[in-house]
Structure 1
Amino acid sequence: MSTPYGGSFLLDAPLDIFTPEDFTAEHRAIANATDDFWTREVEPNLEAIQQQDFDVLKRTLRKSAELGLVGVLLPEQYGGMELDLVSSMIVAEGIGRDGSYAVCHGAQAGIGVLPISMFGTEEQKQKYLPRLASAELIAAYALTEAQAGSDAMAARTRADLSPDGTHYVLSGQKVWISNGGIADLYTVFAKVGGEKFTAFLVERAWPGVSPGAEEKKMGLKGSSTTAVYFDNVKVPVENVLGEIGRGHIVAFNILNIGRLSLAVSAHGKCRYTLAGAIRYAQERRAFGKSISEFGLIQHKLAEMAVRMYVNESMAYRLIGHIQDSGQPLMKAGEEFAAECAFLKIFGSETLDYVVDESLQIHGGYGYHQDYPVERAYRDARINRIFEGTNEINRLLATGMLLRRARKGTLPLANAMKNLSTTATPDVIANAKKVGLFLLGVASKKYGESLEEQQEVVAGITDVLMNAFALESATARARKTGKQNAADMAAVFADETMENIKASAKTLLAACSEGDALRTNLALLRGMTAYELVNSIALRRRIAGRLLQAGKYIV
């Protein structure tokens, strides 16, 4: 097999994938340092952070910076640790245990420093990066506007060049800005002359910059989220980030890595939440025994672990692809943009499932603020909205694969033309076949207008995402040789093939009718045939291992 590239999972089977079991001694040291920082600095301050004591929040962020956890990816010359992407994601996972602190840290270490590191001039890097790496300056990423959420290009914030050509006059309003009320430096997106979408570095101290009041949010209550107003702010021409009219390159490429980071951070939150659910289930007694002995509780615990295992396997596989691509980080993120969208969807929806079922295990106590799962439940909900809503990401993923095919960088047309619909014993190959089959049928029906058929496109994305997920989980299980991993992969395969079949039937009915539909459904039955497993018994085995370990294990 050739080196993986964007969308190639549909055409090739990987010889090997990167997994958490491949972590080096340095990676494990980073994980231990992050765990230690969490235990010593974040956990004791959670209540103060939840009460919006921003002095505590900023002090905690600066302590993480002292350990190098903010500048993991930054070159040493700018105050960073110059480590690899795996290390950066390990930190994101470890920090993800609390939503409020994770948002603050991520806005600094990710979307705060990466745009300057990847697109800044040497002068901009020297001026800002060392102070961002140390958290002397706190960063915020100002993209969203009231009328332009996921549709970032509809922004109305405007920048006009001054007559003497020395600065731009920036005016407009941004909303829902993480770190908005505590930031010293904003990456702001505006349209030069009302047309050319461009990124600017704007300092809070400049006249005309004013954050709004803290938003009253459902969750993430300990993080700062405000509107930010720009009233004729004079921005030196030296503070244009990237090229005039190329702000979308900055915005969207940063979002690709942000989507992947969200999935990893969600996994960190899932680990923390699942451990709490296991502990509560073991301690809580009903009808004369621990509720952890009940089959339906064990089902919930096992299903949480299965989805977490799949999300983790997908994420680190993709991290490995990006790291091994030999391309700069932003370019590699663009290459695997569809897979990054998969991770954003799958990671956020896995987190939603885990917090929901953990709360259910807690019963009425889960609804009480004295229990961490209540906060976890509220904090989780936003993950399906920011970094592009899951609906937008479902449209983007398939749309990006189709555009790659049209450009000739992903040979989907040949794959669809030469597709064999003969059933095989390989459920992974069958899942991919279904995805290609649906792409072919939908493309024939709708042609160039396929991307306008949102329900169809989103449904295809779900099938493709599940194929990528199934392959990632199974490849990891085979590589590690662990029985628990094999059991979790088998449960997921059993569940996923049913989901793929159901989605495909709905899509085929939308794209064909009469004899053509009957023929397509017959072909689908062949491609989705698989050997059933005793998923109840497998889940009980998985749950037993979880209860013995007291935490998520593979």
Structure 2
Amino acid sequence: MSELLLNGGEFLIKDTDFNLNFIPEDLNEDQEMIRQSVRTFVEQEVLARGNDINEQVSLLQEAASLGLLGSHIPEHYGGNPLDTFSNTLISEELGRGEASFNTTLAAHTGIGMLPIFYFGSEALKLKYLPGMCNGSIKAAYCLTEPGSGSDALAAKTQAVLTDDKNAYLITGQKIWITNAGFADVFIVFAQVDGTKFTGFVVDSHLPGISLGAEEHKLGIKGSSTRQVYFDKVIVPVSNILGEIGKGHLIAFNVLNIGRYKLGTICMGGTKRLLEMAIRYANERQQFDHPISSYGAIQFKLAESAIRIFALESTVYRVADLMEDRKIVSTQSGKDAATAMLTSAEEYAVECAIIKISGSEIIDYVVDELIQIHGGYGYSEEYAPARIYRDTRINRIYEGTNEINRMLIINMILRRTLKGQLDLVGPAWEVQKELTSLPSMNLSDEDYALEIRSIKDFRKMVLMVAGAAVKYQMDGKHDLKTQQEILINVADMIIDLYLAESIVLRIQKLKGKYPEKLTDLHESAMKVFFWDAQARLVKNGQDALTSFASGDELRIMLLGIKRFSRYEPVNVKAHRRRIAEALIVKKSYCF
């Protein structure tokens, strides 16, 4: 398995065998039972109470009784470990609930628990993790400060060693702290000796800790968000997480799996929102017909479903990569925490793609939900208005989408420089290909056009990214100051990855589950490829014209044309086909 497993970012230069790719249709009966159990909890409890700030603790306790708080933690520490696919299902189904409770639970199980699981001493793990799994200990993560958001390492909170060297005195202020109002323990980041960014586990009841009032937020009003103040709080040296000065490893690594889960939660939310949109469109009559019968509304429903399909195909593809990597790591002798940490770290690029895609797709879907509801969608008396406000945070936390886009490029370049990813050779081959005659032949395999287009899209990305990097190496620009170019290239990479995930899923459906493959799948694929190609072309052109000129620019613009050969499709007909299925089924149709 390890020989066949793609490394992080290798989708840019290597094909994936669709037979080895996991798709949602591969989920087994036990995993589907987990889905149903979580959905029942969401429908019976979370939707009724999840937006009430006074219900968060009791809902966490109920989630603990179902095993939802410790599904990623070994039994030795009080958990009930499940595979990555089952944990993905849990996140997806929770996404169908209330965003406030999702925020509460995710902050506890992710950024609250994982720093201890990944980096805590054995004593810290045994002290805190069992209570975190059973709900008796609630966690919060104190990273952001008034003057340091995306630039987390610029934190001003200080940790000063006491004279007896047995403890640190922590002084500072943290802001936007989820779960602060009821947390029993804080994960706190502070500067040791003024500059050594370090993580600590801090009990919330200690003298010197005080809380601000609940923040008045745009959305997720049912979650607790407060400032936390530390005034010479005495924290034992045994409560240090990892190594002094290595807090950045904690802060950044816990965000990888957090980004993956956030995108997955958003995916679950989009399915519920789509159901709400279909139901209203079917019920709302205008001009003696349900508005779902009109093309303008059908476009919105179908486009929502197509984007969800792309996201879903990608989410389970990455779940498979992380699960396989975790198994390989465990078989090589690594403990559970290290295996989980390194699997998410390996696929940090892919996790960022899912975070960006999930948060932006749910924003698209909820925006169309408002539009379909018309004036009623704008009224606070109806659910869409609140959901619209709730979803907006997804593009901000776990790293803003702009930061994540630049991280995608940064992580790919870093892997290249470390020799973990060979982009130089393939990028050079693309440059040489620009001066040769293109082959117009298609293979006779299924979905040959899409398969060729993936190869073309890949070449387009390598051409644009390679040119931008070469300009940097030649001293013609500094990419650190060219964020627009980085974002252009990141968006190209995102479209490439989602498009490839779709065709891999459909190839496997045809080969393994032909009875489940319908013309709806192929319609979704064709529309997505046509639209993705247009976005790739636009982003590639925008990036190239930002730094290249003259004959060099003209050659590369011709290259973009050369690598955009996906044939025109009747997108209206394909979308209408999908919309009709949605209207009849009254839910997501894939």
> What TM-score comes out, normalization by structure 1 length?
0.97
Hey, what's the Cα distance between the residues in 2 that align with 1:489 and 1:248?
Answer: 40
Range that drifts further, 169-178 or 116-125: 116-125
Q: Which amino acid aligns with 1:192?
A: V
| Matches for 1:28-67 after TM superposition, within 5 Å | 28-46=32-50, 49-50=51-52, 52-53=53-54, 56-67=55-66
Q: Equivalent residue for 1:83?
A: 82
Q: 1:74 Cα deviation (Å)? A: 0.8
Would you say 1:430 and 2:456 are equivalent positions?
yes
Hey, what's the Cα distance between the residues in 2 that align with 1:267 and 1:342?
Answer: 13
Deviations 1:417-470 (A, max 9, x none): 122344665111111110000111111222273243111111111101110110
Question: What SS is found at the alignment partner of 1:171?
Answer: strand
Hey, what's the Cα distance between the residues in 1 that align with 2:29 and 2:139?
Answer: 31
Q: Equivalent residue for 1:124?
A: 124
Q: Equivalent residue for 1:24?
A: 28
Q: Equivalent residue for 2:6?
A: 4
Q: 1:337 Cα deviation (Å)? A: 1.2
Hey, what's the Cα distance between the residues in 2 that align with 1:178 and 1:89?
Answer: 22
Shift of the 193–519 alpha-carbon distance from structure 1 to 2, 3 Å rule, reads same
Q: 2:493 is matched with which residue: 459, 464, 467? A: 464
Does the aligned pair in 2 maintain the 1:441–1:511 contact within 8 Å?
no
Question: What SS is found at the alignment partner of 1:511?
Answer: coil
| Matches for 1:131-142 after TM superposition, within 5 Å | 131-142=131-142
Q: 1:2 Cα deviation (Å)? A: 3.2
Q: Matched residues, percent identical?
A: 42
Question: What SS is found at the alignment partner of 1:531?
Answer: coil
Would you say 1:515 and 2:514 are equivalent positions?
no
Does the aligned pair in 2 maintain the 1:399–1:451 contact within 8 Å?
no
Q: 1:41 Cα deviation (Å)? A: 1.6
Q: Equivalent residue for 1:143?
A: 143
Deviations 1:354-377 (A, max 9, x none): 000011000000111222211110
Q: 1:453 is matched with which residue: 479, 482, 500? A: 482
| Matches for 1:386-405 after TM superposition, within 5 Å | 386-405=397-416
Q: Which amino acid aligns with 1:463?
A: M
Question: What SS is found at the alignment partner of 2:229?
Answer: strand
Would you say 1:531 and 2:542 are equivalent positions?
no
Does the aligned pair in 2 maintain the 1:423–1:529 contact within 8 Å?
no
| Matches for 1:537-552 after TM superposition, within 5 Å | 537-552=573-588
Hey, what's the Cα distance between the residues in 1 that align with 2:246 and 2:114?
Answer: 16
Q: Which amino acid aligns with 2:43?
A: T
Hey, what's the Cα distance between the residues in 1 that align with 2:86 and 2:108?
Answer: 16
Q: 1:498 is matched with which residue: 534, 552, 559? A: 534
Would you say 1:188 and 2:188 are equivalent positions?
yes
Q: Equivalent residue for 2:99?
A: 99
Q: 1:552 Cα deviation (Å)? A: 1.0
Question: What SS is found at the alignment partner of 1:506?
Answer: helix
Hey, what's the Cα distance between the residues in 1 that align with 2:525 and 2:254?
Answer: 31
Hey, what's the Cα distance between the residues in 1 that align with 2:365 and 2:44?
Answer: 26
Hey, what's the Cα distance between the residues in 2 that align with 1:113 and 1:232?
Answer: 24
Question: What SS is found at the alignment partner of 2:70?
Answer: coil
Q: 1:40 Cα deviation (Å)? A: 2.0
> What TM-score comes out, normalization by structure 2 length?
0.91
Q: Which amino acid aligns with 1:389?
A: T
Hey, what's the Cα distance between the residues in 2 that align with 1:372 and 1:271?
Answer: 15
Hey, what's the Cα distance between the residues in 1 that align with 2:355 and 2:90?
Answer: 17
Q: 1:18 Cα deviation (Å)? A: 1.3
Does the aligned pair in 1 maintain the 2:137–2:184 contact within 8 Å?
yes
Which segments of 5 or more consecutive residues in structure 2 lack a partner in the other structure? 330-338, 441-448, 511-516
Aligned length: 549
Does the aligned pair in 1 maintain the 2:140–2:180 contact within 8 Å?
yes
Hey, what's the Cα distance between the residues in 2 that align with 1:501 and 1:399?
Answer: 22
Question: What SS is found at the alignment partner of 1:304?
Answer: helix
Q: Which amino acid aligns with 1:86?
A: F
| Matches for 1:303-452 after TM superposition, within 5 Å | 303-325=303-325, 326-327=328-329, 328-419=339-430, 420-421=433-434, 422=438, 425=449, 426-447=452-473, 449-452=478-481
Hey, what's the Cα distance between the residues in 2 that align with 1:209 and 1:4?
Answer: 46
Hey, what's the Cα distance between the residues in 1 that align with 2:212 and 2:94?
Answer: 27
Does the aligned pair in 2 maintain the 1:66–1:134 contact within 8 Å?
yes
Hey, what's the Cα distance between the residues in 1 that align with 2:173 and 2:129?
Answer: 25
Does the aligned pair in 2 maintain the 1:139–1:185 contact within 8 Å?
yes
Q: Equivalent residue for 1:290?
A: 290
Does the aligned pair in 2 maintain the 1:70–1:134 contact within 8 Å?
yes
Deviations 1:468-488 (A, max 9, x none): 110001111221232222221
Q: Equivalent residue for 1:113?
A: 113
Does the aligned pair in 1 maintain the 2:143–2:188 contact within 8 Å?
yes
Would you say 1:173 and 2:181 are equivalent positions?
no
Does the aligned pair in 1 maintain the 2:529–2:566 contact within 8 Å?
no
Hey, what's the Cα distance between the residues in 2 that align with 1:33 and 1:23?
Answer: 15
Hey, what's the Cα distance between the residues in 2 that align with 1:477 and 1:364?
Answer: 39
Shift of the 423–456 alpha-carbon distance from structure 1 to 2, 3 Å rule, reads farther
Hey, what's the Cα distance between the residues in 1 that align with 2:132 and 2:281?
Answer: 43
Hey, what's the Cα distance between the residues in 2 that align with 1:108 and 1:277?
Answer: 31
Q: Which amino acid aligns with 2:90?
A: V
Q: Equivalent residue for 1:476?
A: 505
Aligned-pair Cα RMSD in Å? 1.3
Does the aligned pair in 2 maintain the 1:423–1:527 contact within 8 Å?
no
Q: Which amino acid aligns with 1:346?
A: S
Hey, what's the Cα distance between the residues in 1 that align with 2:177 and 2:407?
Answer: 23
Hey, what's the Cα distance between the residues in 2 that align with 1:452 and 1:312?
Answer: 34
Hey, what's the Cα distance between the residues in 2 that align with 1:193 and 1:26?
Answer: 51
Q: 1:21 Cα deviation (Å)? A: 1.1
Question: What SS is found at the alignment partner of 2:455?
Answer: helix
Question: What SS is found at the alignment partner of 2:257?
Answer: helix
Q: 1:236 Cα deviation (Å)? A: 0.6
Does the aligned pair in 2 maintain the 1:395–1:451 contact within 8 Å?
no
Hey, what's the Cα distance between the residues in 2 that align with 1:341 and 1:423?
Answer: 34
Which segments of 5 or more consecutive residues in structure 1 lack a partner in the other structure? none
Does the aligned pair in 1 maintain the 2:460–2:559 contact within 8 Å?
no
Q: Which amino acid aligns with 1:183?
A: A
Range that drifts further, 162-171 or 367-376: 367-376
Q: 1:77 Cα deviation (Å)? A: 2.0
Deviations 1:388-432 (A, max 9, x none): 111111111011101111111100011111223446651111111
Deviations 1:223-266 (A, max 9, x none): 00111111100001111111111111111010011111110000
Does the aligned pair in 2 maintain the 1:211–1:226 contact within 8 Å?
yes
Question: What SS is found at the alignment partner of 2:111?
Answer: coil
Range that drifts further, 76-85 or 56-65: 76-85
Hey, what's the Cα distance between the residues in 2 that align with 1:67 and 1:156?
Answer: 40
Q: 1:156 Cα deviation (Å)? A: 0.8
Range that drifts further, 273-282 or 412-421: 412-421
Q: Equivalent residue for 1:270?
A: 270
